[in-house]
Structure 1
Amino acid sequence: MDFMKKQAWRLGLAFVVVLSLFFNAFVMPAAALTQEQKLVAEVWRIVNRSYLDETFNHQNWAAVRQKALEKPLKDEKAAYGAIQKMLKTLDDPFTRFLDPEQYRSLQVNTSGELTGVGLQIVLNPQTGKLEVITPIAGSPAEKAGLKPRDRILKIEGLSTEALTLDEAAARMRGPIGSLVTLLIEREGEGEKEITLTRDRIALNPVVAELRSSPQGIPIGYLRLSQFNANAAAELAHAISSLEKKGAAAYILDLRNNPGGLLQAGIEVARLWLDSGTVVYTVNRQGIQGVVEAFGPALTEDPLVVLVNQGTASASEILAGALQDNSRAQLVGETTFGKGLIQSLFELSDGSGLAVTIAKYETPNHRDINKLGIKPDQVIPQTPISREEIGTASDGQYQAALELLSQNLVVAGKG
Structure 2
Amino acid sequence: MKKICLNLAIILLIFCSNFIYTPKAYAYSEEEKILLQSWRLVNEAYVDESFNHQNWWQIRQNFLKKPLHNREETYTAIREMLALLDDPYTRLLPPENYHNLQITTSGELSGIGLQISINPENNQLEVVTPLPSSPAELAGIQPRDQIITIDGINTQTLTLDEAANKIRGEIGTTVAIEVKRQNDGKIKTYELKRDRLSLSAISSRLDNSQSNYPIGYLRLNQFSGNATKDLAHALVQLEREGAQGYILDLRNNPGGLLQAGIEIARLWLQPSTIVYTVNRQGVLGSYDSDGEALTDKPLVVLVNQGSASASEILAGALQDNHRGILIGEKTFGKGLIQSLFELPDGAGIAITVAKYETPSHKDINKLGITPDQIVTQDPISYFEIGTEKDIQYQTAISYLATAKNYNNSNM
TM bin, normalised by shorter chain, reads 0.7 to 0.9
2: CA distance, partners of 1:134 / 1:257: 17
The answer for unaligned runs of 5 or more in structure 2 is 119-124
CA drift of 1:182 comes to 3.4
Partner in structure 2 of residue 328 of structure 1: 324
Query: Could you tell me which of 130, 140, 159 is aligned with 1:145?
Result: 140
1: CA distance, partners of 2:116 / 2:345: 27
Cα deviations by residue, 1:137-190 (Å, 9 ceiling, x for unpaired): 2211221234541423279xxxxx9xx977994895334xx4x33344445877
CA 1:232/1:97 → structure 2, altered by over 3 Å: closer, same or farther? same
1: CA distance, partners of 2:339 / 2:44: 12
- Structure 1 residues 36-45 or 241-250, which shifts more? 36-45
CA drift of 1:192 comes to 4.7
1: CA distance, partners of 2:63 / 2:344: 18
Query: Could you tell me which of 218, 223, 229 is aligned with 1:222?
Result: 218
Work out whether 1:311 is the aligned partner of 2:312: no
Partner in structure 1 of residue 16 of structure 2: 14
Partner in structure 1 of residue 198 of structure 2: 202
SS at match of 2:369: coil
Partner in structure 1 of residue 72 of structure 2: 77
Residue identity matched to 1:65: R
Work out whether 1:292 is the aligned partner of 2:292: no
Structure 2 contact 136–192 (Cα < 8 Å) conserved = no
Work out whether 1:273 is the aligned partner of 2:269: yes
CA drift of 1:264 comes to 0.5
Partner in structure 2 of residue 38 of structure 1: 33
Work out whether 1:283 is the aligned partner of 2:275: no
Count of residue pairs the alignment pairs up? 392
2: CA distance, partners of 1:247 / 1:308: 25
Residue identity matched to 1:149: I
SS at match of 1:402: helix
Query: Could you tell me which of 53, 56, 64 is aligned with 1:58?
Result: 53
CA 1:132/1:16 → structure 2, altered by over 3 Å: closer, same or farther? farther
Structure 2 contact 147–177 (Cα < 8 Å) conserved = no
Query: Could you tell me which of 181, 190, 194 is aligned with 2:174?
Result: 181
TM-score normalised by structure 2 residue count: 0.86
Percent identity for Structure 1 against Structure 2: 52
Cα deviations by residue, 1:273-307 (Å, 9 ceiling, x for unpaired): 12101111111022222111122111010111111
1:340-351 to 2 correspondences below 5 Å: 340-351=336-347
SS at match of 2:354: strand
Partner in structure 2 of residue 93 of structure 1: 88
SS at match of 1:396: helix
CA drift of 1:379 comes to 1.8
Structure 1 contact 134–148 (Cα < 8 Å) conserved = no
Structure 1 contact 122–165 (Cα < 8 Å) conserved = no
Query: Could you tell me which of 104, 114, 124 is aligned with 2:99?
Result: 104
Cα deviations by residue, 1:360-402 (Å, 9 ceiling, x for unpaired): 1111111111111111112222222222222222222222222
CA drift of 1:407 comes to 2.0
1: CA distance, partners of 2:192 / 2:406: 58
Query: Could you tell me which of 383, 386, 389 is aligned with 2:385?
Result: 389
Structure 1 contact 306–332 (Cα < 8 Å) conserved = yes
Structure 1 contact 135–148 (Cα < 8 Å) conserved = no
Superposed CA RMSD in Å reads 3.1
SS at match of 1:304: strand
Partner in structure 1 of residue 122 of structure 2: none
Query: Could you tell me which of 353, 371, 396 is aligned with 1:357?
Result: 353
Structure 2 contact 46–352 (Cα < 8 Å) conserved = yes
CA 1:290/1:407 → structure 2, altered by over 3 Å: closer, same or farther? same
SS at match of 1:149: strand
CA drift of 1:408 comes to 2.1
CA 1:135/1:384 → structure 2, altered by over 3 Å: closer, same or farther? closer
CA 1:8/1:287 → structure 2, altered by over 3 Å: closer, same or farther? farther
| Structure 1 consecutive aligned stretches of length 4 or more whose deviation exceeds 6 Å | 1-6, 164-168, 188-191
TM-score normalised by structure 1 residue count: 0.85
2: CA distance, partners of 1:2 / 1:119: 90
SS at match of 2:68: coil
SS at match of 2:396: helix
